[in-house]
Amino acid sequence: MFEKTGVASREMVMTKFPPIERINRGPVAVVECYQKIPCNPCQTACPFGAIRIGEDINEIPCRDENVCTGCGVCVAKCPGLSIMIVDGSKSAETVEFRIPYEFLPLPESGEKVTGLDRAGKPICEAKVIRVMNPASFDRTPVVTLEVSREYLYDFRNFRRE
Ligand code: SF4
Ligand code: SF4
């Protein structure tokens, strides 16, 4: 299915999420890289050595949730837009996501947007908390959004209305 649609199944997604206890402790990277490709900016960008690919650049990256600080440096560096940060420490009802977003115009803080799942289907309302677009991100802005906790494993993107 994934080979045909490019949409990861729930089972695949769950292999990339750390345990909920880790998510609730604070921000952590979810690295949704599912196929062997010759790529490694995530590994080289991480200042803490939390992402390992190893000797073979084709290997699938592995993130150590106990080393990852959730700093977010890797998010804008991934050419596949495969990395997001999840943070369940802010509230019992919501989760914060930091995701790469390369569409224009960029949203504004406080804006209500439509949350999308991995297939691009609308699933929820999301609130934009912040938009970061410094020169060091090299034209890959990163948007922080607040989403209801029930969509933790489904939310992946958003669209403006
Ligand atoms: S969020 Fe920061 S610490 Fe975690 S994997 Fe990415 S760059 Fe490394
Ligand atoms: S930079 Fe992105 S696409 Fe490349 S290996 Fe890392 S997670 Fe995968």
- If you compute the radius of gyration of the chain from its CA atoms, what whole number of angstroms results? 15
Among the listed residues 107, 100, 68, 86, the one whose alpha carbon sits nearest the alpha carbon of residue 149: 86
Ligand 1 nearest-atom number relative to CA 67: 3
Q: Is the pTM of this model over 0.85?
A: yes
Q: Is the CB of 74 under 6 A from ligand 1?
A: yes
Encode 21-36: b = buried (16+ Cβ within 10 Å), e = exposed.
ebbbeebbbbbbbbee
Domain ranges of the chain: 2-32+69-159
User: Half-sphere exposure of residue 16, counting CA atoms within 13 Å on the CB side?
Assistant: 24
44: left (phi over 0), alpha (psi -120 to 50) or beta: alpha
Closest residue by Cα to atom 8, ligand 1, is 46
Question: pLDDT of the chain along its 161 residues, tens only?
Answer: 787 888 999 999 999 999 999 999 999 999 999 999 999 999 999 999 999 998 899 999 999 999 999 999 999 999 999 999 999 999 999 999 999 999 999 999 999 999 999 999 999 999 999 999 999 999 999 999 999 999 999 999 999 98
